[in-house]
A and B are shown apart, each in its own frame.
Chain A
Amino acid sequence: MAFDADSQNGKEGWKLGRLLTGPFAVIGRAAISWVDHLGASAIFLLLAFLKILRSKQLIKIVQQIYYIGARSSMIIMLVSFFTGMVLGLQSYHALVKFGAQGALGTLVALTLVRELGPVLTAIMIAARAGSAITAEIGIQRISEQIDALDTMRIDPLRYLISPRITASIISFPMLTALFDLVGMLGGYVSGVLLLGANASTYVYRVQTSMDIKDITDGLIKSVVFAVIVSTVCCYQGYFTHMRTDSHGAQAVGLSTTSAVVLSCVLILVSDYVVTSLLI
C-alpha cells in the first residue's frame, strides 16, 4: 500500500511539474524554432547573394526590377501623396497653435525622408510585390516546378531567388526616393494650396532643412528593408512544402500571410535598430 501511495504521489508530482514547466517548454520550443529559421534564412540569403554575379542573371534582374519596382510605382505614388497630404494637414494645425507654420516644410520633409518614406515604402512593397513573390514561389514549389529545375541542373537559388533579392535592393531605395518626393508634393498641396501656408517658405524649408545624412540614412534603411522583405518572402515561398500546419494551396496561402506579416513586423523592429545605430 505504501508503495501505491508513493507511486500516486510521484504521478501527482510529475503532473504538477509538467503544469509548471509546460509554458516554459512551449516558449523554449518556439525560441528554438525561431533561431532555427533565423539561421536557415541567413544561410538562404548568403547562398542567394553568392549567386548574384553568375552568368545570365542580368535579364532576370531587370525583369524583377520591372515587377517589384516599376509596377509598384503607381501604388507608391498614390500612398505617398495622401500620406504627405495628411502630414501637411495635421502638422499645419499643430504648428499654427505655436505660430510656427513656417516650419511645415521642415517637418514634412524630415518626417518623410527619415522615417515614413523608407518604412511605408517597404510595407507597401511587402504587401504588393512580397506577397506575389511568396505565392509564385510557393506554387512553383508545390507543383514540383522547383524540383523540375533541380532535375534540369538549374540552380533554383540562382534562377529564382538571387534576381528577386538583387532587384529588391535596387528597387527599394528608388521607390523610397519617389515616395519622399511625391509625399512632399502632397504636403505642399494640403499645407500650401488648401490651408494657405506660404509656398516659398515651404519650398525653402524643404530645401534647407535636409542635409545629405538625412537622405543617406533613409536610403540605408530602405536597403535593409529590401534585404529583409525579399529574404522573408522568398524563404516563406521556397519552403512552403516544409510547413507542418498545412499542405498544398492552403500552405501557399498561409506562407503568403506569414511573409507579409513577418516582413511588416521585421521592418518596424529593424527600423528602430537601424535608427538607433545611425542617429
Chain B
Amino acid sequence: MILSDLSKTRKQYRAFIGKKIFIIFVFIFLIFVLSGIAVTIGPMKFSFQDVYKTIINHFHAGCFNIPEMSEAVIWKIRIPRILTALLAGFGLALAGVQMQGILRNPLASPFTLGISAGAGFGASLAVLMGISFIGGKYFLIGNAFLFSLIPAFAIFFLSRIRRISPGVMILAGISLTYIFSAGGTLISYFSQAEDLKALYVWMMGDVGKTTWADLGPFAIVLIISTVMLFWKGWALNIMNAGDETAKSLGVNVERTRIFIMAISSLITASVICFTGMIGFVGLVAPHITRSLIGADNRFLVPASGFFGAAFLLGADIISMKIVEPSVLPVGIITALLGGPLFFLLIIKRKGRQYW
C-alpha cells in the first residue's frame, strides 16, 4: 500500500521529467528538419534531388554524376553556413540561460549586460588596427574575449558590492553598451574607409562568412564550454533559491558564479567573432524554452541551446528567402523576429511570473 503510494509521487515526477526530455528531442528533430530545408536554399538554384545527390555523392564518390559547381556551393558554402548558424544559436542561447541563472535575472543576456558590446569593441579594435593581419583570426577572438570580460565582471562586481535589482543590472548593462559603442565609434572615426566597410559588414551579424577551417576551433570552444556548463545545471538550480540557501546546501556560490560568467563570456566572444552581432537569441531562446519545459536547469540548459540553434537557423532560412535572390544578414532577422516575440512574451505572461 505504502509502496504504491510512493511510486505514485515518483511516477508523476518521472512523467514530468519525461516530458522535458521529449521536448528536447523535438528540438533536436527540428534542427534536422530545418537543416534539411536550409541546404536546399540559396541564391544558386539547385533542385531538391540535386542537393541530396550531391551530399550522397560526397560520401560515396561516383554514385551520381555531379557538376563541380554544386559540389562546391553545397559543401563549401551551404553546409558551413548551416553549421555556423547552429553553433552560434546554440552558444548565444546557452550563454543567455546561464547568465539568467547565476544572476537570477530573467532579463540577463549577452546583449542586455553589455557583454556583446565589449566583445564587439575588442574585435573592432583588432580589425581596425590591423592586428588581425598579424595574429590572424584567433587574435581577434582573444581580443574580443578580453574585452567581453570587462562588462561581464563590471556587472558581476556591481551585483556583489551593492545589492542591485534585476532592473538596475540591465541599466548598468545599457550604460556599458553606450561606453563601448562610443569607443567603437571613436576608433572608426580615425580609420580607413575600406576597414570601416569591413567592420560594418562584420557588425551586421551574419553566419555566411565562416569556412571549414573556422568551424573547427569554433566548435571546439563551444563543445568544451558546453560540457563544462552542463554539469553545473543542478548547482544552478540550487542558486535559484538565493545565495544563502545555496551556500547552506553546499554550493560554492561565488566560485560558481565567476566560473559560469567567464565561460559564458568566452562563448559570447567566440560567437561574435565568427558571426558579428546577432541579437535577441540569447534573451528570447531561454524564455521560450523555459515557458515550454520549466526552470529546471538540468534540462533547460541543453534545451535552450538546441532551441537557440533551431531559432537562428530558422531565421537564416528567412533571411535567404525574404528578398530572394539577395541574402540579408541574419542579425536583422533575429532582431525583427526576436523583438516582437519578446514583446509577446511580456504581454502574455501570467500566473508564474518571474520578472
A binds B: no
Residues of B near any A CB (own CB < 8 A): none
Residues of A near any B CB (own CB < 8 A): none
